[in-house]
Amino acid sequence: MSRYIAKAAIRGANLIVSEAEKMLQEAIKELGPETPVVFTNTAYYLPVILGFTGIEVQTLGDLQQVIDYAKKLLHPVPGDTLWLPYLGETLDCGVATLLAEEAIEGIRFARGLQPEPIPGLQLTGTSFTSPDGNSQEEEGGFANGPIDDVQLRAWGIQLVDGRMPGFAAIVGAARSNEAAVSIVRELQQRNILVFLSGNVNGRSIIHQLMEEGVEMGYDTYIVPFGTDTISAIYALGFATRSALTFGGLSGGQARDILLYNKYRVFAFVLALGEVDDLKYATAAGALNYGFPVIADTVIPQILPTGITQYEHVISMPFDDIEGETDAEKARRLVQRCIEVRGIKVKITEVPIPVPYGSAFEGERVRRADMRIEFGGRNARAFEYLRMADFDEVEDGKITLIGPSFEDVEVGGAMNLGILVEVAGRKMQEDFEPVLERQIHYFINGASGVQHIGQRDITWIRFSKAAVEKGFQIKHLGEILYARFHADFGSIVDKVQVTLITDEELFQEWLQKAREAYQARNIRLADMTDESVDEFYSCTLCQSFAPNHVCIVSPERLGLCGAYNWLDCKASYQINPTGPNQPVPKGICLDPVYGVWQGPNEFVYQNSHGTVERVSMYSIMRDPMTACGCFECIAMVIPEANGIMVVSREDPSMTPVGMKFSTLAGIAGGGLQTPGMMGVGKYYLLSKKFISAEGGFKRVVWLSKILKETMRDELQAVCEREGVPDLLDKIADGDTATTIEELLAFLEEKGHPALTMDPIF
Ligand code: SF4
Ligand code: ZN
C-alpha cells in the first residue's frame, strides 16, 4: 500500500465527510428535515447508501444517520513518521467518501440542483420518449445525473449476454480533445459503457466531447454524470443497483454487493489529469468494488497482492505512452485498462471506413446530416435472407447490381434490396427469420449509418460524414459477411450478399421476398405449443439473476422479448452447451394451466430448488419468474377482477399507485410472485396469454404506448376473443391513474372482466 495514496485518500475522506455534514445541517435548517430526497426514476433510494447501510433515505433528516455512519468509518490523517500505511483504513475511508458524496448529491436533489446544468449539452435517447414527445432530448442543457432503473434494466440483457462487457468511469479531462475522442471511441467500439464526470481546473472531458460534436446519451453508451468528482458516485450507484437488480441482493448486504461487482461487473476507473485528494478518496471507494484505477499521470501504484488478481492502481503517464499522436496514445491507454481489469471483449473486425461497434447502434442520422437514404417516405428498401444450396453460394461474394448513389442529390432517396444468401450444414429454413433479424443490429453498428425496420419496410440512412470517409453501399455487404460468420459461424458456412438498386431486378426480388415473408407468417402462426414435443429453456439471465429460468414455447416468448422458440432452437444449434436447452414437455399435468412434467423438472433443477412448478398459462398459480429485463409487467388488480399490463417504455402512473420502475423492483429477482409477472409484449397476442384466467379479456388497463404501437395486432386479438371493441374498453394512463378512475371507466364501458369469474 502506498503511503502517499493512503494519506491523500484519508485526507480527502475527512474533508468530504465534514463538508457533507455542513451542507446537511444548512439544508435541514433552511428546508426542514422532512424535505424529500429522491434520485430520479429509481426504486433504490440513494443506491450506494442503501447498498452499504440498508438505510432507505427519503428525507434530509434520514441523511443524518448516514453521515454518522460515515464518520465512524473515518480514520485520522496519519502523521509523517512511524505510521504503517494499511489498506483497510484507506478502503474504509473510501466507503466514507462514497457515502458522503451520495449524501451531497441527495442534498443537491432536494435543492433542485441536480442534474447539473451544462449549457449546450444535448443528450440523445433518454430511456423513454413519452408519446407527447416531451423527452429530455428536447429540453437539453443538463448532465444525465443518475441512470434510471428503466435504463439499467434495458441494458441488463446486454450486460448478461456479454454484448456489453462492462463500464469505464472516466474522471477528469483528457490531455487533448483528440485524446478524449479517441478514448471514448475505443471504448464504444468494444461496447463498454462510458460514464463521465469530474474536471481538471474546471475543464471536463464532457466539455471536450461537446466541442468535438460527440453524441452523448443512453443511445451511444456515453453518459455524462456531471463535471465534478462527486458526480462519479452515480457510477457506483449503477454498480450497486446491478447487484441489487440482477443479483437478487438486498440493501445492507454490503459484502455480497461488493463481491458481486468484483466478479461480475467488469468496470474500471480512468483518472485523466491531475489526481487530487478527493479523487484519491473516491478511487479508494471504487477499490472496494474491485474496480481498479488507471491514471494517465505519474502517481504511486498499488500492485497485486496475494489477495487480488490484478493491480489496484496503475500509473500510465500519458507522455510516456508510445505513439505518434494523442489519438494513438489514447488507444494504448484504453488497451491497458482493459488488460488490467481482464475484460473479455469480443470484437469482430469489419473492414469498413467508419468505426464499428454496438455502441453506435443508437446513433441517429438526422435529415440535415444525411447524404442518402434507402426506404423511408420517398423510396423502398427490403432485406431478405434465405438459405440456399452449398454450390449456389459463393462465400464472400459481395455484389452491387445497379447504380450507386453518386447521381442522387444530397439528402435524396433511392430503392435498395439486400439479399443475403447463406449455406451451412446445420442451417435450417426455420432459422432464416432469426438470422434476418440480425441485419438490423449488424448494419446499425456502423458509425454514421442508421437502420430502422425490417423486411420490406427497411429504412437505412448514410450520413454525410460516413460517405465522406468512404462509406459505400457495398460496405453493407462487408458488414453482413463479417458478422454472420463471426456470430453464426456454427450454422452458417457460406455467406453471399447481393445489393440491388437496378430497378427491374429490385421489383423482381421484392416480389420474391414478399412471398417468403408471407410463407413464414403462415408457418409461424401455425406453430402451437401442442405442435411441438419440446420447449426451450433460457438461462442467459442467470449470470445476473442466478435462479431465474425462462421456459420458451412457440406460444410464449421470453420475457425480454429477445428470444422466441425459434431463436432458442437456433441458439441451441449454434451453441449446444449454451443457455438455451431443449426441454422435452413430458407428461401433461394440466392442459389449462399449462403444466408439464418436463418444464417442472427443468425449472426445479435450474432454479437450484427454489421454484418447484411453473404454469405456462397462468399469472395466479405458479407463474413464471422474472429476472429484470421484461418488456412489460402484468399485474392483477383485484378490485377490477382483471390485470393491467405496463410497458417498460411507459413513464406514467398506473392505477396501483406505482410506476413501471417501482413495479419492476417488485417483479424481478427470480422469485415467483403470484399475481405478478414479467412478460414479453408479443405474448399479449398469444392465444395462451394467461389463458388459465380467461386470456386477453382480463386486461383492464394497458400502457398507451402498447395500444398505439401494436394497435392492429391487438385489434385482431380482440376480434379473436370475441369482443371486437375490447380495446376501447381497456383503460390507459390517460383515462385512469387510480383504482377509482379505473373502476368508473370499466363500468361505463362495460368491460367484460367485471362479469367474468372471480380471478381469485
Ligand atoms: Fe433472460 Fe429470459 Fe430473455 Fe433468456 S429469454 S435472455 S433468460 S429474459
Ligand atoms: Zn433477464
pLDDT in tens, 258-309: 998 888 888 999 999 999 999 999 999 999 998 999 999 998 887 766 545 5
| CA 148 to centroid of ligand 1, rounded, Å | 21
Could you tell me if the CB of 549 is within 6 A of ligand 1?
no
Give the pairing of strands 266-272 and 166-172: parallel
Between helix 565-574 and helix 432-444 the angle, nearest 10°, is 80
Alpha helices in 552-710 (DSSP H): 565-574, 597-606, 660-667, 704-709
| Number of DSSP helices (H) and strands (E) in the chain, helices first | 23, 25
Residue nearest to atom 3 of ligand 1 (CA): 560
The fold of 358-512 is: 3.30.1650
Q: Are 190 and 210 in contact (CB under 8 A)?
A: no
Residue nearest to atom 4 of ligand 1 (CA): 538
Q: What is the mean pLDDT of residues 625-637?
A: 91
Confidence of residue 319 (pLDDT cuts 50, 70, 90): very high
pLDDT in tens, 244-266: 887 778 899 999 999 988 888 88
Give the pLDDT of residue 126. 45
| Percent of the chain with pLDDT strictly greater than 70 | 94
Give the pLDDT of residue 649. 84
Q: Are 696 and 717 in contact (CB under 8 A)?
A: yes
**Which is the closest atom of ligand 1 to the Cα of 678?**
8
Decide: residue 641, CB within 10 A, 0-12 exposed, 13-18 middle, 19+ buried. Answer: buried
Decide: residue 8, CB within 10 A, 0-12 exposed, 13-18 middle, 19+ buried. Answer: buried
Give the pLDDT of residue 127. 36
List beta partners, residue 588.
596
Residue 496 — φ and ψ, nearest 5°? -135, 135
Out of 159, 537, 563, give the residue to mutate to test ligand 1, the one with the largest number of ligand atoms within 8 Å of its CB.
563
Could you tell me if the CB of 550 is within 6 A of ligand 1?
yes
Could you tell me if the CB of 538 is within 6 A of ligand 1?
yes
| CA 608 to centroid of ligand 2, rounded, Å | 17
pTM of the model: 0.67
What is the rounded CA–CA span in Å between residue 657 and residue 660?
10
Residue nearest to atom 8 of ligand 1 (CA): 560
E-assigned strand segments in 456-572: 459-463, 494-500, 534-538, 550-552
pLDDT in tens, 729-741: 999 999 999 999 9
Per-position b or e across 475-505, b if 16+ CB within 10 A of its CB: bbbbbbbbbbbebbeebbbbbbbbbbbbeee
Structural domain boundaries of the chain?
1-347, 358-512, 529-755
Give the pLDDT of residue 646. 97
Between helix 277-288 and helix 87-110 the angle, nearest 10°, is 100
Q: Which helix (H) or strand (E) holds 266?
A: strand 266-272
SS (H, E, C) 702-735: ECHHHHHHCHHHHHHHHHHCCCCCHHHHCECCCC
Could you tell me if the CB of 536 is within 6 A of ligand 1?
no
**Which is the closest atom of ligand 1 to the Cα of 563?**
5
The fold of 1-347 is: Rossmann fold (3.40.50)
What is the rounded CA–CA span in Å between residue 489 and residue 620?
42
Give the pLDDT of residue 94. 96
Distance of CA 528 to the CA centre of its chain: 31
Residue nearest to atom 6 of ligand 1 (CA): 540
Q: What CATH code would you report for 529-755?
A: 3.40.1470.10
Amino acid of residue 205: I
What is the rounded CA–CA span in Å between residue 230 and residue 519?
57
Q: Are 356 and 350 in contact (CB under 8 A)?
A: yes
Give the pLDDT of residue 133. 34
What is the rounded CA–CA span in Å between residue 234 and residue 21?
20
Sign for the CA dihedral angle at 330, 362, 151, 114 comes to positive
Could you tell me if the CB of 679 is within 6 A of ligand 1?
no
Give the pLDDT of residue 132. 34
Give the pLDDT of residue 329. 96
Q: Are 441 and 479 in contact (CB under 8 A)?
A: no
Residue 170: CB atoms within 10 A of its CB come to 30
What is the rounded CA–CA span in Å between residue 395 and residue 496?
5
Nearest to 238 by CA among 274, 280, 193: 193
What is the rounded CA–CA span in Å between residue 548 and residue 540?
9
Could you tell me if the CB of 184 is within 6 A of ligand 1?
no
pLDDT in tens, 522-570: 877 789 999 999 999 998 877 667 889 999 999 999 998 878 898 898 8
What is the rounded CA–CA span in Å between residue 198 and residue 224?
10
pLDDT in tens, 710-755: 999 999 999 999 999 999 999 999 999 999 999 999 999 999 999 9
Q: Which helix (H) or strand (E) holds 181?
A: helix 177-189
| CA 588 to centroid of ligand 1, rounded, Å | 24
Sign for the CA dihedral angle at 68, 73, 78, 82 comes to positive
Closest ligand to the CA of 668: 2
CA distances from 21 to 15, 28, 46, 103, 232 (A): 10, 11, 16, 9, 19
Question: Is residue 628 pLDDT above 90, yes or no?
Answer: no
Residue 446 DSSP code: B
pLDDT in tens, 131-183: 333 333 445 799 999 998 878 877 876 776 667 888 999 999 999 999 999 99
Could you tell me if the CB of 705 is within 6 A of ligand 1?
no
Q: What is the mean pLDDT of residues 326-333?
A: 94
Residue 85: CB atoms within 10 A of its CB come to 15
List beta partners, residue 376.
none
Q: Report the phi/psi class of residue 267: left, alpha or beta, with left for phi > 0 and alpha for psi in -120 to 50.
A: beta
Three-state DSSP class for 226?
Answer: coil
Give the pLDDT of residue 488. 87
Range in 147-161, 217-231, 348-362, 455-469 with the lowest mean pLDDT: 147-161
Could you tell me if the CB of 557 is within 6 A of ligand 1?
no
For the chain, give the mean pLDDT: 90
Three-state DSSP class for 260?
Answer: helix
Could you tell me if the CB of 562 is within 6 A of ligand 1?
yes
| CA 708 to centroid of ligand 2, rounded, Å | 25
**Which is the closest atom of ligand 1 to the Cα of 630?**
8
CB proximity list for 399: less than 8 A, separation 6 or greater: 477, 497, 498, 499
Q: What is the mean pLDDT of residues 479-506?
A: 93
pLDDT in tens, 567-611: 898 888 877 887 899 999 999 999 999 999 999 999 999 999 999
Range in 117-121, 185-189, 443-447, 517-521 with the lowest mean pLDDT: 517-521
| CA 408 to centroid of ligand 1, rounded, Å | 44
